[in-house]
């Protein structure tokens, strides 16, 4: 194709996006669009899969059968989200194995929040309430993103996430209405998960890159700081309702702005975790790598068996 | 039937679901592929769902404000009446699948009889569970075939698992006192009658999976009397941790 | 050597034993004496090592710090007994690695009692009381056995065993004086350990082999049935003192004989376990094999390091 | 010094001994040789002995009929103030030895100061423990050298363990509030002062063992505030099992 032709295609493409038309796998798309989407969708998929681990840590010790079943189902949903998202990503011409390789080699990122440990049962509540809460704020706009398979996956993901978020909040509510020991457990979980959740929206706008392009492609509709503000505004009253305190002395309602003011994030901690030195980065990655490596013989067996069955069929036909 | 015996009879069924459900739940997030991870979690969810139905019934029978959680979490090891098979550890995927297959084949046969129990709660639970367990058996059986007739490595691993776990199959067909009484009253299933058909079907599938049938004369038993293997204590330490550490709280 | 010479040596040898003289490693001894002793001493050593496993199972869960320390020290003593006994065995011209190979390949036996699981804390008491009690009855006569290194090892072993036995009995006593739940736990442990302990004396005399030869060499001074009777006579009053019941309806004091009568052992169970099909045979052996195999690189490293140090020394000298 | 703070100060020392003693005790019967098995058990016994001395003192301070076992077994995870290093799992012998060495070097330095504490119970415990811990350090240091300068495999394994566990060393030298107060009163040791000498000695031995010194800028912390790794919960589930399942009994 000539450069002119490509420019023409790009123009048509940008117009389609501007008209809110969905881009589908077989449609022409700029290489950068493809690469950006592979990066973002796969990061999102990896986050779902790695996100199974901190919550999975409490399945065997859940305090009631009802909670055990709910947690197990929730973690399973995350595996399901991983599946849709990997499939969406595969439509962009990359295989699942390549995506796994990127994760296992440390080349691909996943959400840093999952590098914190779950150390009490209340953490399961806090993750549902805060982490899923933050995730939804990040993700809801993606239900209208330009790439069709991603948008459709996100609709399903968001529906389930908001169920998870309510479930998490309900765990917190039960603890806060429980014994003093339980309420203390809830407060402690909020203390530990608040700032990492705030970090889920990424660097402040002045530090953030790629935003303009992402806005255009509807991979992003609001800036990091806007989303973070939305999270604070949504969560602060919920904490009040629970009767526990967000660990930020600067948190205060600003009547004038119509928003909460809040304190500064510890960006050193943010970058430490992003760079792979959080409390559980090594454990999370090695859990995934181990599962994958120990599963190799199983996947090989399934392939070998399928081939044998296929050969038999062909033989019967022939 | 005496309430106490009926409760014991239900433990003999329900505890298998709890313990196997717990074992499978330990694997969540660590499977060889997302698809098997999801499938095994489904089986775990089904089993834990069945567990809750049985224990809710036990709680009702026992009265005194007992809950399903008291029954699940606050018994001593000797009071759990699950068979030794289901508490065996998740050594590797071959063990997980073989344990599942050897249990599912029994479980389905049991439920097919239990759906005709004179006890309406039990027969209702059984009818609902049959659909679930038919799926479990199809899944585990298919995987035994894949592993048996897959690669040399997978064949060796699944054969080892079959050989090791085989010694726990005989116990499935032992009648406890509670069983005998429940059978006499038309409530319980005479599991000893399921044995021949079970081994027939299991052997047929193992043969299809090109595996050898173990020729063990010796079998292990004890779970039905609450005499478990050394694996059980560690499983319970995790299972019961929260209920033991924070007694009398709502979650 | 001519046959006559050998007969002469054998005669002198038998006379020395008859005079209660100790046979020492450098002394001449008949090949059968050597082989029999290798078999018995190594079985005994293996039993100490495998015997660490069922008790080791409760170290991490011992109910008090005092009990945890005592149990840990006890299991350590067993490792120590294993060490002396392997050393005694090595004086007969076999290496420790060969002995381990025999254990790991299943060729060598160890005491069947350790193929039963420890499923409650009370089992730790019952093992001390019953299993160590039975072991002492089997072992005390060996303090005067003819082979010097074995006899000396046994003196030390027996002293420690009788300390362990008292400790086990004291655990049982504490449980029996405790809550009804604790007493039930003690009774349950007695129920499960009684018959396996009775089996520790081996088959009945009419079924037992090698006894005559072993008697002559002072590897044995009483028959299996005599020792078993001694165990019952010693243990039955102890159970009475604890206030728990030995699970044998036929157990009864026989005034006329001056001994307890007791019921029949389940010999099918005995042989099942001896033949490798007890509740934990596979677990015990594979725990030992795993420890050994996983430790190989460590032992290799220690050897390589020692050699390097040796070489350095030689270089400095040279 | 306020009693509550003194108790917290003691936890900061004693919990390390408990948790590391527990970790080592898990290995009993599974070591690479009888000799190392016995030696590691000895270290575990020493540490648990020290734990008892500290906790008996805490029990005395707290009064109200508390016992050493209440303190050892009946706290919540967040109340254990051990450093993250000691709860790290027994991944393999290289991890076990490296964890031990990195802790022993600190432990000895701590005790050498603690023996001059104004608190007579603490200085007495320290004096007795110094002899034990000197032996521990010799043992673990010797093994680091054997593994480092042994075979290629052992070097690789111990280097990996050093790299992984190194990130937990910095926390050893953090001062908690209870520490600062105890230091001010001449009771406690200013651990931040031990840091330079520690890294000097540790690096010297690692070099002798032909190992590379990790160049990590990032370290983990939290144990001293009771924020542990995910390994701790499982360790406690076993440690506390009996006391939780059978409360208020004598053993």
What is the model's pLDDT at position A316?
82
Provide the angle, in degrees to the nearest 10, between the axes of the packed helices B93-114 and B152-166. Answer: 50
Nearest CA in chain B to C283: B230
Q: Do C301 and D35 touch (CB under 8 A)?
A: no
- Candidates C65, C175, C178; nearest CB to D51: C65
Q: Do C119 and B227 touch (CB under 8 A)?
A: yes
CA distance B98 to B104: 10
Res. C219: pLDDT tops 80 = yes
Res. B1: pLDDT tops 80 = no
> Predicted confidence band at D77 (pLDDT cuts at 50, 70, 90)?
very high
Give the number of C-D residue pairs with CB atoms closer than 8 Å.
142
Which chains reach chain D with 3 or more Cβ–Cβ distances below 8 angstroms? A, B, C
Which chains reach chain C with 3 or more Cβ–Cβ distances below 8 angstroms? B, D
Q: Do C61 and D250 touch (CB under 8 A)?
A: no
> Predicted confidence band at B144 (pLDDT cuts at 50, 70, 90)?
very high
In this structure, the number of other CB atoms found within 10 A of the CB of residue A308 comes to: 13
- Candidates D237, D245, D247; nearest CB to B238: D237
Of C145, C134, C126, which is closest to residue C85 (Cα–Cα)? Answer: C145
Interface of B with D (CB under 8 A): 76, 233-234, 237-238, 240-241, 244-245, 247
Architecture of domain D3-212+222-245: Up-down Bundle (1.20)
CA distance A90 to A41: 10
Interface of C with B (CB under 8 A): 54, 57, 61, 117-120, 181, 188, 192, 272, 275, 277, 279-280, 282-283
Q: Do D237 and B233 touch (CB under 8 A)?
A: no
> Three-class SS of residue C247?
coil
What is the model's pLDDT at position A318?
61
- State the average pLDDT over residues D208-226: 95
| B92 CB within 8 Å of a chain A CB | yes
Nearest CA in chain D to A121: D233
Residue segments in chain A with a per-residue pLDDT below the cut of 50: none
> Predicted confidence band at B181 (pLDDT cuts at 50, 70, 90)?
very high
Nearest CA in chain C to D51: C65
Q: Suggest the residue from D20, D24, D34, D210 to mutate for an interface test with chain C (most C CBs closer than 10 A).
A: D34
Q: Do B250 and A304 touch (CB under 8 A)?
A: no
Nearest CA in chain D to C124: D251
Contact residues on chain A for D232, CB-CB shorter than 8 A: 119
| B90 CB within 8 Å of a chain A CB | no
- State the average pLDDT over residues C139-148: 94
Helix (H) or strand (E) holding C253: strand C252-254
| D142 CB within 8 Å of a chain C CB | no
Q: Where are the domains of chain B?
A: 3-212+222-245
Contact residues on chain B for C281, CB-CB shorter than 8 A: none
- State the average pLDDT over residues C249-278: 96
> Predicted confidence band at C192 (pLDDT cuts at 50, 70, 90)?
very high
| B237 CB within 8 Å of a chain A CB | no
Nearest CA in chain C to B236: C119
Which stretches within chain B are classed as H helix? 3-25, 34-62, 68-73, 84-87, 93-114, 120-148, 152-166, 177-184, 195-208, 231-239, 241-245
What is the model's pLDDT at position B141?
98
DSSP C260: E
Res. D118: pLDDT tops 90 = yes
What is the model's pLDDT at position A25?
96
- State the average pLDDT over residues C211-218: 81
- Candidates B76, B218, B229; nearest CB to C277: B218
What is the model's pLDDT at position C318?
62
HEC string for chain A: CCHHHHHHHHHHHHHHHHCCCCECCCCCCCHHHHHHHHHHHHHHHHHHHHHHHHHHCCCCCCCCHHHHHHHHHHHHHHHHHHHHHHHHHHCCCCCHHHHHHHHHCCCCCCCHHHHCCCCCCHHHHHHHHHHHHHHHHHHHHHHHCCEHHHHHHHHHHHHHHHHHHHHHHHHHHHHHCCCHHHHHHHHHHHHHHHHHHHHCCCCCCCCCCCHHHHHHCCCCCCCHHHHHHHHHHHHHHHHHHHCCCCCCCCCEEECCCCEEECCCCCHHHHHHHHHHHCCCHHHHHHHHHHHHHHCHHHHHHHHHHHHHHHHHHHHHHC
- Candidates D164, D227, D237; nearest CB to A119: D227
CA distance A75 to A88: 20
- Candidates B76, B238, B245; nearest CB to D244: B245
How many angstroms away from the CA of B9 is the closest CA of chain D? 25
User: What ipTM, to 2 d.p.?
Assistant: 0.95
Contact residues on chain A for D233, CB-CB shorter than 8 A: 57, 61, 119
How many angstroms away from the CA of D72 is the closest CA of chain A? 19
- Candidates B26, B32, B241; nearest CB to A295: B32
Give the number of A-B residue pairs with CB atoms closer than 8 Å.
141
- Does residue D248 contact residue D65 with C-beta atoms inside 8 Å? no
What is the model's pLDDT at position C317?
74
Of A312, A309, A295, A317, which is closest to residue B149 (Cα–Cα)? Answer: A309
Q: Do A72 and B44 touch (CB under 8 A)?
A: yes
In this structure, the number of other CB atoms found within 10 A of the CB of residue C300 comes to: 15
Give the number of B-D residue pairs with CB atoms closer than 8 Å.
21
What share of chain D in percent tops pLDDT 70? 100
Contact residues on chain C for B229, CB-CB shorter than 8 A: 117, 119, 279-280, 283
What is the model's pLDDT at position C210?
64
> Three-class SS of residue C124?
helix
CA distance D243 to C66: 13
| D244 CB within 8 Å of a chain A CB | no
- Does residue C62 contact residue D24 with C-beta atoms inside 8 Å? no
Q: Do B233 and D241 touch (CB under 8 A)?
A: yes
What is the model's pLDDT at position A210?
64
**What mean pLDDT value characterizes chain C?**
95
C-alpha distance from residue A193 to each of A199, A221, A281 (Å): 10, 26, 16
What share of chain C in percent tops pLDDT 90? 90
Contact residues on chain D for B29, CB-CB shorter than 8 A: none
Higher pLDDT, C145 or C211: C145
- Candidates D164, D218, D227; nearest CB to A192: D227
Whether chains C and A touch (3+ CB pairs under 8 A) is answered by: no
CA distance C298 to C166: 37
HEC string for chain D: CCHHHHHHHHHHHHHHHHHHHHHHHCCCCCCCCHHHHHHHHHHHHHHHHHHHHHHHHHHHHHCCCCCHHHHHHCCCHHHCCCCHHHHCCCCCHHHHHHHHHHHHHHHHHHHHHHCCCCCHHHHHHHHHHHHHHHHHHHHHHHHHHHHHCCCHHHHHHHHHHHHHHHCCCHHHHCCCHHHHHHHHCCCCCCHHHHHHHHHHHHHHHHHHCCCCCCCCCCCCCCHHHCCCCCHHHHHHHHHCHHHHHCCCCCC
How many angstroms away from the CA of A312 is the closest CA of chain B? 13
**Bridge-based pairing state of the strands A259-261 and A252-254:** antiparallel
Q: Do A174 and B49 touch (CB under 8 A)?
A: no
Nearest CA in chain D to B238: D237
- Candidates B238, B244, B245; nearest CB to D234: B238
Of C234, C131, C247, which is closest to residue C188 (Cα–Cα)? Answer: C247
**What mean pLDDT value characterizes chain B?**
97
Which chains reach chain B with 3 or more Cβ–Cβ distances below 8 angstroms? A, C, D
- Does residue C202 contact residue C1 with C-beta atoms inside 8 Å? no
Nearest CA in chain D to C52: D29
- Candidates A65, A179, A303; nearest CB to B72: A65
Q: Do D238 and C61 touch (CB under 8 A)?
A: yes
Contact residues on chain A for D227, CB-CB shorter than 8 A: 117, 119, 192
- State the average pLDDT over residues D158-171: 98
Nearest CA in chain C to D94: C298
Contact residues on chain B for D238, CB-CB shorter than 8 A: 234, 237
- Candidates D218, D222, D233; nearest CB to A277: D218
């Amino acid at each position: 194709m000539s450069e002119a032709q490509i420019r023409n295609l790009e123009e048509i493409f940008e117009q389609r996006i501007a008209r809110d038309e969905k881009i589908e796998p077989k449609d022409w798309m700029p290489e950068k669009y493809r690469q950006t989407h592979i990066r973002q969708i796969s990061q999102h998929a990896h986050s779902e899969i790695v996100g199974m681990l901190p919550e999975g840590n409490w399945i065997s010790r859940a305090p009631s059968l009802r909670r055990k079943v709910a947690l197990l189902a929730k973690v399973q949903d995350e595996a399901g989200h991983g599946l849709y998202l990997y499939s969406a990503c595969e439509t962009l011409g990359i295989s699942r194995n390549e995506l796994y390789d990127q994760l296992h080699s440390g080349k691909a990122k996943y959400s840093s929040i999952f590098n914190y440990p779950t150390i009490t049962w209340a953490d399961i509540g806090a993750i549902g309430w805060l982490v899923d809460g933050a995730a939804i704020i990040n993700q809801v706009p993606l239900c209208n993103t330009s790439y069709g398979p991603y948008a459709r996956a996100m609709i399903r993901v968001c529906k389930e996430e908001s169920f998870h978020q309510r479930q998490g909040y309900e765990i917190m509510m039960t603890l806060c209405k429980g014994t003093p020991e339980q309420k203390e457990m809830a407060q402690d979980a909020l203390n530990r998960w608040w700032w990492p959740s705030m970090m889920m929206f990424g660097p402040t706008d002045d530090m953030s890159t790629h935003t303009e392009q992402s806005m255009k492609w509807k991979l992003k509709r609001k800036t990091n700081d806007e989303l973070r503000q939305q999270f604070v505004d949504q969560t602060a009253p919920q904490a009040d309702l629970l009767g526990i305190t967000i660990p930020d002395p600067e948190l205060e309602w600003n009547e004038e702005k119509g928003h909460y003011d809040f304190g500064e994030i510890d960006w050193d901690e943010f970058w430490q975790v992003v760079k792979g030195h959080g409390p559980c980065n090594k454990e999370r990655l090695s859990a995934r790598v181990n599962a994958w490596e120990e599963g190799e013989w199983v996947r090989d067996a399934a392939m070998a068996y399928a081939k044998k069955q296929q050969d038999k069929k062909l033989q019967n036909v022939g | 039937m005496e309430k106490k015996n009926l409760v014991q009879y239900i433990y003999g069924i329900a505890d298998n679901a709890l313990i196997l459900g717990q074992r499978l739940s330990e694997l969540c997030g660590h499977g060889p592929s997302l698809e098997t991870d999801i499938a095994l979690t489904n089986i775990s969810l089904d089993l834990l769902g069945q567990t809750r139905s049985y224990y809710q019934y036990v709680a009702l029978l026992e009265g005194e404000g007992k809950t399903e959680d008291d029954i699940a979490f606050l018994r001593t090891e000797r009071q759990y009446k699950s068979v030794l098979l289901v508490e065996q550890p998740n050594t590797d995927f071959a063990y997980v699948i073989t344990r599942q297959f050897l249990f599912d084949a029994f479980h389905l046969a049991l439920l097919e009889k239990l759906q005709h129990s004179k006890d309406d709660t039990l027969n209702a639970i059984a009818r609902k569970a049959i659909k679930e367990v038919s799926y479990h058996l199809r899944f585990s059986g298919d995987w035994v075939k894949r592993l048996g007739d897959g690669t040399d490595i997978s064949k060796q691993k699944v054969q080892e698992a079959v050989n090791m776990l085989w010694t726990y199959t005989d116990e499935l067909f032992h009648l406890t006192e509670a069983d005998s009484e429940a059978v006499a009253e038309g409530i319980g299933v005479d599991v000893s009658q399921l044995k021949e058909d079970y081994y027939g079907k299991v052997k047929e599938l193992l043969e299809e999976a090109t595996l050898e049938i173990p020729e063990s004369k010796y079998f292990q038993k004890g779970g039905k009397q609450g005499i478990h293997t050394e694996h059980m204590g560690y499983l319970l330490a995790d299972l019961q941790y929260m209920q033991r550490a924070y007694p009398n709280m709502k979650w």
